[in-house]
Amino acid sequence: MAAAHLASVVSLFDQLKKCYDAGETKADEAIAMLAKLKIAMLSFTSLVSGQSGGHTKPRTLCESAASADACDVCACARYVQPHAMAAAPSPVDRVLVHEELLVAREILEHGALLSIRQMDIPAFERYVAQLKVYYSDASILTPSQRQFPILGLNLLRLLAQNRIAEFHTELELIPTELQHANIYIKYPAQLEQHIMEGSYHKVLYFMDMLVDTVREEIAECSEKAYTSIAASELQSMLMLTSGEALAEFVEQRGWRLDGKTVAFSKAEEEQPTQKLPSAQLIQETLSYAKELERIV
């Protein structure tokens, strides 16, 4: 029964990822599917009820919600924690628990990234609060490649909101070596240092340099993924302020601007051997850059 439920959740999650990769065109569908997945996650066997004031909270905390939107997994997170294998589960149970935790973590990560894309900062904060359990307490899980991008975005959020004390609290939870080596953690740490020193010119220079770097990465990803794209969409993705700026950028890259369409010359010279998750890569990079811009 539990395995069948997990399979149905994975199937719905696969649909969510397709909508997520499609970008803004299917944002509403992605949000609706995410709401359904949050409710479905409450039935995972790897989640158990916690204690509060000596009373066990019911597993069905959100099952009485009138709609999917009424379910707030963050509220449940105060009572629901990853499974602590106290009763020596069978090997089959261990595999199921592991798979459920991996799926739950990935769903929450997509929720966090989707909330950033929708500029829903309170929702992002709730997702990060839930993910911390999976990042710190669920030691049986393999590390997630999204962990530090999300934690880095969370540091930027705290910095942008001038919540400096919380910024330092969160930073101290990250190993010191990663604070200096991991690109997603190093940038927020350096920005905070410059701001505290009053070196605002360094912040502005740093921001301009970083935006240029992100713009180049988006350009490279775009020309490998598409043969052409609407000029207005490309201008938005590249964070360019005018059509003239776009025309100049197109000329520098050796692309071709035909009316309202930009054609990528490199796409004609070299076709990719396999399909890249272009929309996801571009949107996640763009979301990171936009969050950085909020600081200044």
Q: What is the pLDDT of residues 161-195, one digit of tens each?
A: 889 999 999 999 998 888 888 888 988 888 888 88
DSSP 65-123: -SSGGG--HHHHHTTEEE----S---HHHHHHHHHHHHHHHHHHHHHHHHHHHTT-HHH
- To the nearest 10°, report the CA torsion of 190, 191, 192, 194: 90
Q: What is the pLDDT of residues 1-46, one digit of tens each?
A: 788 888 999 999 999 998 888 877 888 899 999 999 999 988 887 7
- Per-residue pLDDT at 75: 47
- Per-residue pLDDT at 106: 94
- Per-residue pLDDT at 92: 57
Instruction: Report the DSSP beta bridge partners of residue 230.
Output: 261
Six-digit token string for 244: 């003239």
Residues of the chain scoring pLDDT < 50: 48-71, 74-88, 267-269, 272-276, 296
Long-range contacts of 75-81 (CB under 8 A, 24+ apart): 76/42, 77/126, 77/129, 77/130, 77/133, 78/50, 78/52, 79/49, 79/50, 79/52, 80/42, 80/47, 80/48, 80/49, 80/50, 81/47, 81/48, 81/50, 81/133, 81/137
Domain ranges, ordered by start, for the chain: 1-118
